[in-house]
Amino acid sequence: MMLSSGQQDRVRVIFRRVVREVWIVTAAYRGHRGGSTVTWLSAASIDAAQPTVLVGLAPNHFTAELVEASGEFAAHLLREDQAELAWHFAAISGRNHDKLAGLECEPAAGGLPLLRDCLARVTCRVYDRKATGDRTYYWADVVDVRELGNARPLTDQAWFAGLPDSRRRMLGEQLLSDVEQQRPWQAEWRSSLSAGDRRPERG
Ligand SMILES: Cc1cc2nc3c(=O)[nH]c(=O)nc-3n(C[C@H](O)[C@H](O)[C@H](O)COP(=O)(O)O)c2cc1C
């Protein structure tokens, strides 16, 4: 079922009101490293004895490829004053460009980039995944944690509000290009679902 464009706008407006924290997810595999600005990340369990994280990454992004191959990532929660770093990791893909160059990192096994300057960091090991076309969801155990301050986290709303129009336009174009690329994958995933996996149609 396709929503009218008016309804689509309303959905967009509703979700724009929801505040999300801005993270940088980094990963590495066989000498390649990268990272991405991410907001689709949350705690995935209420069991404090085994903290888990759920992150949704677009499969066409370089960072997703590194997570897929290595099975691990580090998630860095940004401070309110780190808007420029969020832009750095969002603006272009790291496929042909080392986004970590010049940034201070702590040494880690397997070359996993651990950014020194952030509000908090969790290092995670993937234990399950689900590909849904436009996003692949990774469930991961937190295997290490580092809290680096108690400043306020950067939120997507504050970040967008401070972006100049030219940058906002650039992100809009990037998003449209991603959607176009990912739409067939999502259609393929949906058509591959067996009848038992689908919610019954109402009507
Ligand atoms: C506010 C914001 C949040 C984002 N959240 C995500 C996300 O949760 N998952 C994702 O795959 N991409 C997300 N992106 C897009 C990536 O940051 C962007 O496409 C990046 O260039 C990908 O880099 P890579 O190809 O090096 O991984 C977000 C972008 C912005 C501006």
Per-residue pLDDT of the chain (203 residues; tens, 9 = 90+): 789 999 999 999 999 899 999 999 999 999 999 999 999 999 999 999 999 999 999 999 999 999 999 999 999 999 999 999 999 999 999 999 999 999 999 988 889 999 999 999 999 999 999 999 999 999 999 999 999 888 999 999 999 999 999 999 999 999 999 999 999 999 999 999 876 666 655 54
Domains of the chain: 18-193 (2.30.110.10)
Note the pLDDT of residue 128.
98
Note the pLDDT of residue 203.
44
Give the mutation target among 18, 61, 155 for probing the ligand 1 site: most ligand atoms within 8 A of CB.
61
Note the pLDDT of residue 201.
56
Q: How far apart are CA 101 and CA 122, in angstroms?
A: 21
Give the mutation target among 39, 54, 175, 177 for probing the ligand 1 site: most ligand atoms within 8 A of CB.
39
Q: Tell me if 99 sits within 8 A of 86, measured CB to CB.
A: no
Strand partners, 182: none
Interval between CA 114 and ligand 1 midpoint (Å): 18
Count helices and strands (H / E) in the chain.
5, 9
201 φ/ψ angles, rounded to the nearest 5 degrees: -70, 140
Interval between CA 116 and ligand 1 midpoint (Å): 20
How many CA atoms does the CB half-sphere of 135 hold within 13 Å?
11
Q: List, as one string, the DSSP characters of 105-116.
A: EE--GGG--EES
Residue 37 Cβ < 6 Å to ligand 1:
yes
Atom 19 of ligand 1 has which residue's CA nearest to it? 90
Q: How far apart are CA 202 and CA 105, in angstroms?
A: 52
Strand partners, 57: 136
